Amino acid sequence: MTETRLPSEAGLSPRDSAAALLVVMLWGLNFVAVKLALHTLPPFLLTGLRFAVTAAILVPFFRPRRQQLGGILLLAAVLGFGHFGLIFFALSRMDAATAGIAIQLGIPFSALLAWLVFDEHLGWRRAVGMTVAFGGVALLAGEPHRPGILPLLAVVVSAMSWAWSNVVIKRIGAIDPLTLNGWVALFACPMLLGLSLAAETGQAEAIAATGWMGWSGLAYTIIGSTLIAYSLWYRLIERHPMNRVVPFTLLGPAVAVTGGVLLLGEPLTWHKLVGGILTVGGVGIIQLLPGRSITPIEEPEPGT
């Protein structure tokens, strides 16, 4: 007889707490890894390569049900291009710290969609949290080192796409996370590589010019951010209630900002500090207040 594992009633053990912190660090530092790869590789090509390798690793071992393929194809467009493609595009034109903060808008967008689509309770407190979070990103729009408004708009649309992807995932139904990741990657890969051919140039030269640091950045996004972090995360979600695990993701922006400043030499301005505090504070109100969870299903830390 197979034993059904129930969520733990106790708090996180030191081992599980360490695993949750490791996941957040892997996701936060992924912004730095992507920036390193983007030094030579154009963003849509980089995204397509990430999906190609992820699909090659996972697809041979995992199969979805046939009736789920339509939903996975839609998810590949929404999540593959709309989220990952745009966040990689934004990172090619803005610093990792600002992107790591602004992408947290995926949580308020998820709360709003859960209210509109699934009639989940929102309440005035979560509405205040949404307002505070959007205000923090508005402050980031005045960051003096941000090269134009287009990259920040791309992050906002990326966050919206990530939130919508959660609706698509709910409609796909029960599916193994690695199956979902692998087959989304399989369908998204030709979309992103085709977009790269249409919108970017010099792909062969970019690949030839990429050194060990750029390829290490790509490997990190696949191995560290996708395979290792997701495996640890879903194990934690299986063992514990979501409201005990998800608050760890609030540390993600701090990791992204610290990595951008210390590893990439990005400037630390008051816009980032105050805007980051407001954004994370607003997200924290949405995540931590009692009530029905508006927690994302497929990707708890957007932008990774």
- Tens of pLDDT, residue by residue over 215-243, are 999 999 999 988 888 778 767 766 776 55
183 within 8 A of 54, measured Cβ to Cβ: no
Backbone angles phi, psi at 303, to 5 degrees: 90, 0
DSSP state of 157: H
**DSSP secondary structure string, 261-304?**
HHHH-----HHHHHHHHHHHHHHHHHHHSSSS----SS-SSTT-
193 within 8 A of 52, measured Cβ to Cβ: yes
What's the pLDDT score for residue 105? 79
Q: Residue 168: name the closest of 250, 89, 71, 235 by CA.
A: 71
What's the pLDDT score for residue 246? 66
Q: Which residues of the chain have pLDDT under 50?
A: 1-8, 291-300
Give the C-alpha separation, 183 to 162, whole Å: 17
pTM higher than 0.85, yes or no? no
* Structure confidence by residue, pLDDT tens digits, 121-170: 667 777 777 777 777 777 776 666 666 788 888 988 998 898 888 778 77
Give the C-alpha separation, 252 to 16, whole Å: 17
Q: Residue 170: name the closest of 256, 304, 298, 64 by CA.
A: 298
Q: What does the angle CA 166 – CA 168 – CA 171 come to, to the nearest 5 degrees?
A: 110
> Token pair for residue 207?
């690949």
What's the pLDDT score for residue 102? 81
Give the C-alpha separation, 295 to 280, whole Å: 15
115 within 8 A of 122, measured Cβ to Cβ: yes
What's the pLDDT score for residue 42? 95
